[in-house]
């Protein structure tokens, strides 16, 4: 059996847990190389997972190994360049989210994939949940009627990551919005079927990350090197009249440690995704329906399966470059509005 030859760029936690292990769970995939600018990290992960070759330069690896597909697990700043380098060498690419840092970069990635006739997808793994599939089917079937409002949340009380580059704006492009908020924003707009955007407005704060103790529930950070927002609150108005209220934070003085949810409000039904519940009325009675979907399913594995099967021609990608450009446009507009204190209208996007 001819195997799909996959290389990994980036040797951090997400590569080890969510990419390499899930590729190696498949008999039709061979992980042939790993690359990281940190030689020790690349060598260590190659030894741990019995990967035959490791490199510190991704161009050298791509030219020598010539993989069929690549997973990109590096800081957001480098997503565009490394993705395009791989696409130009005829590799299919699974790039971790967010797509990039600017809209221009996301568009360039989309255009490069199209030019070289390669597959490009992104790591919005929550899309693969059974709860999302069920709700999406009901929405497409018309069960909800017009959905006119959504509340999108991923807020943490004291969840500033104490590892990696999550507090470095230059490398990541932002904080909780571009990291965890992007997941929920992707889900909500997917379920709403990407309505045409009218305008975006937002506010952001970085009072806790810069002024806090540097100690939290997800490790320690250096307040002197904290350059991202610790919370952002936004409002998105669509031209069809629908809207999204967005709340996202790494640190927020609230009771709960972590709230992750999407609420949908339609003319016929409403829903909450985590856990999945649907609200409506039947025979003049209020009906709440709960579905037994837990968190046991490995959504990263399902994401890898979709990518591999799409590379092999037996599935189609669930997450497309065009959708990624849409999400990147919203992320950038929210940050722009928060920075300027003014609404950003869709006919005046600035990258």
Return the pLDDT at 1. 67
Total Cβ atoms within 10 A of residue 212: 16
Return the pLDDT at 234. 98
Specify the pTM. Answer: 0.96
User: Helical H runs in the chain?
Assistant: 13-14, 21-24, 39-48, 58-65, 79-88, 103-115, 130-141, 169-172, 176, 182-191, 207-211, 299-311, 321-340
CB contact burial 229-255 (16+ within 10 A = b; e otherwise): bbbbbbbbbbeeebbbebbbbbbbeee
How far, in whole angstroms, is CA 244 from its chain's centroid?
A: 18
CA gap 345, 335 in Å, rounded? 13
Tokens of 91: 């590799």
Q: At which residue do the structure tokens 């070289």 appear?
A: 116
CATH topology of domain 131-297+328-348: Dihydrodipicolinate Reductase; domain 2 (3.30.360)
SS3 67: coil
- Bridge-based pairing of strands 4-9 and 69-72 is parallel
CA gap 15, 300 in Å, rounded? 11
Going from N- to C-terminal start, the domains of the chain cover: 4-122, 131-297+328-348
Return the pLDDT at 348. 60
Radius of gyration of the chain (CA): 21
Angle at CA of residue 348, ends 343 and 351, nearest 5°: 95
CB contact burial 112-149 (16+ within 10 A = b; e otherwise): bbeebebbbbbbbbbbbbebbebbeebbeeeebeebbe
CATH topology of domain 4-122: Rossmann fold (3.40.50)
Tell me the average confidence (pLDDT) per consecutive run of 10 residues in the chain, 351 residues long: 93 95 97 98 97 98 98 98 98 98 97 98 97 97 98 97 93 98 98 97 96 91 95 98 98 97 98 96 93 80 98 97 97 97 79 40
CA gap 26, 3 in Å, rounded? 10
């Amino acid at each position: 059996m001819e195997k799909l030859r996959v290389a990994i760029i980036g040797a951090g936690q997400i590569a080890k847990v969510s990419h390499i292990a899930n590729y190696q769970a498949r008999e039709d995939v061979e992980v042939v190389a790993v690359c990281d600018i940190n030689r020790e990290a690349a060598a260590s992960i190659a030894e741990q997972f019995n990967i035959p070759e490791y490199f510190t330069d991704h161009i050298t690896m791509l030219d020598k190994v010539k993989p069929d597909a690549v997973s990109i697990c590096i800081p957001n700043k480098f997503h565009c360049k490394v993705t395009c380098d791989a696409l130009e060498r005829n590799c299919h690419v699974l790039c971790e989210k967010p797509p990039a840092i600017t809209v221009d970069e996301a568009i360039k990635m989309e255009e490069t994939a199209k030019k070289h006739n390669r597959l490009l997808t992104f790591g919005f793994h929550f899309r693969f949940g059974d709860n999302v599939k069920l709700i999406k089917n009901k929405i497409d079937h018309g069960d909800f009627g017009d959905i006119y409002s959504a509340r999108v949340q991923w807020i943490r009380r004291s969840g500033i990551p104490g590892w990696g580059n999550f507090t470095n704006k230059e490398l990541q492009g932002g904080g909780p919005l571009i990291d965890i908020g992007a997941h929920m924003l992707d889900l909500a707009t997917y379920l709403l079927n990407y309505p045409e955007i009218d305008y975006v407005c937002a506010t952001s704060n970085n009072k806790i990350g810069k002024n806090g103790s540097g100690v939290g529930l997800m490790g320690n950070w250096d307040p002197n090197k904290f350059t991202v927002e610790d919370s952002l609150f936004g409002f998105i108005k669509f031209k069809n009249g629908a809207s999204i209220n967005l709340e996202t934070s790494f640190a927020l003085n609230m009771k709960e440690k972590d709230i992750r949810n999407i609420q949908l409000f339609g003319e016929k039904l409403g829903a909450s995704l985590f856990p999945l519940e649907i609200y409506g009325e039947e025979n003049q009675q209020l009906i709440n329906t709960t579905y037994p979907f837990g968190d046991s399913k490995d959504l990263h594995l399902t994401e890898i399966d979709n990518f591999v099967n799409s590379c092999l021609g037996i599935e189609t990608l669930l997450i497309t470059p065009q959708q990624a450009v849409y999400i990147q446009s919203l992320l950038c507009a929210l940050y722009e509005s928060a920075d300027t204190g003014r609404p950003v209208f869709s006919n005046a996007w600035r990258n």
